[in-house]
Amino acid sequence: MVHLVGAPQPAEPTRKIIVVLVAGAKDHGPGEHDYPAWQQVWRELFALAENVRVETAEEWPSAEQFQSADVLVFYQHGTWTPQRALDMDAYFARGGGAVYIHYAVDGGEQSAEFARRIGLAWQGGRSKFRHGPLEVNFAAGTEHPIARNFDKVHFHDESYWQLVGERSRIALLASGVEDGEHQPLFWTAEPPKGRVFVSILGHYSWTFDDPLFRLLLLRGIAWAAREPVDRFLARHGLPVSVPAPPPRPPAGLGPTGLAAFRAYLDSPLPYRAFASSGDGLTGWAASPRAREEARRAALSFCQKDGRTCAIVAETIEIEDR
C-alpha cells in the first residue's frame, strides 16, 4: 500500500462523486493543448477510482451534467458569454466545483466577467505568456491542503501573467517570477457557494504525466468537489505515481527520450527525477537513497551531450506500508 506523507491515516471517508471532463477542439501543434488526448487518458484514469463516475463533454457540459456534476474540469480554449455565466452561476449556487486548466481561463471579450467567478482570467492582446522552464514556488499555499508538502517544483511548461481580475479574489497556492514579479500560477477562488481551482500550467502533454502535476491536479479536483484532497490516492484505486494505462509518452520524443520516459514511468523506486532539454524529455534517474541524488543524476544524464536541462518531474516521498 502506498501512502503519501501527511495524508490522514486511516483515510477519510469519501462519497460518490460525478466528475465531468470538458475538452474542446485542438488549437496547437502535437503534444500541446491536446484537450482530446487528455480527456481520453484522464477518463481512463478516473475510471480506476473508487466512488467516482466520470463523464465527458465537448466544449460545454449538458444541462443534465450541470444538474448532476460535483466537479467540472475544463481543459479547452475557454471563452465566456452571458449564457455561460447563467449556467455557471446556477451551478456554483448549488455548491458545484470547477477546475480550469491553462487556456481554459481565456475569457475572450468577457474576461472581467469571467474573472469575477474564477479570480483571474486571460485576455488576448493584454495578457502575456512564456514557454520554458518554470520554478513554481508554493510558499503562499503551505496552509492549503492542495499544496501540502509542496515547496519549489521545476516544470517545463508555460506561464501566463498580466491577467484580468483582482488578486484579492484568489487564494494563492503557487507563483512563478515573470517580469521581475511573483505571478499567480495555481490558486483557488470561491464564487458564492462554489469552489474553483485553477492551474495555469497545462500547455504540454508531458506536464499531465508529471507525477507532481498529476498529484496537484487530483488534489485540486477533489477539493473543488468538496472531498478530502487525498481521496484519489492509490489506496482508493487511483494511482498517482504511475501513468494511466496504457502509458502515453509525450509527443515528439526521440528514441532515447522515449526509452528514458518509459523507464521513468516504470520505476518502483521512491525517488525519481526526470530532466528536459527543452525540446523533449531526455534524462531520467532514480535513487533509493536521496532526492538530491536523483536530481543530480538526471541532470548529468542529459547534460552529457552538452544540452541545458531542467528537472521537469519528480516523485515525492512515497512510503511502503
Residues that bind Zn ion (CB under 5 A): 158, 203
Which residue is closest to Zn ion by CB? 203
Q: Residue 129 or 291: which CB sits closer to Zn ion?
A: 129
Q: Would you say 207 or 315 has its CB closer to Zn ion?
A: 207
Q: Which three cell numbers stand for residue 61?
A: 457540459
Residues 6+ apart with CB under 8 A from 30: 251, 252
Give the residue with the Cβ less far from Zn ion, 92 or 204: 204
CB 250, min distance to Zn ion, A: 15
The span from the CA of 260 to the CA of 77, in Å, is: 31
**Residue 188 contacts residue 223 (beta carbons within 8 Å):** yes
Q: Where are the alpha helices (DSSP H) in 186-282?
A: 205-208, 211-224, 255-266
* HSE value, Cβ hemisphere, 13 Å, CA-based, for 45: 26
3-class secondary-structure state, position 204: strand
E-state strands within 32-82: 52-58, 71-74
Q: Which is nearer to Zn ion, 279 or 317 (CB)?
A: 279
In the complex with Zn ion, which residue's Cβ is closer, 127 or 277? 127
**φ and ψ at 2, to 5 degrees?**
-95, 155
Task: Write down the least CB distance from residue 208 to Zn ion, Å.
Answer: 13
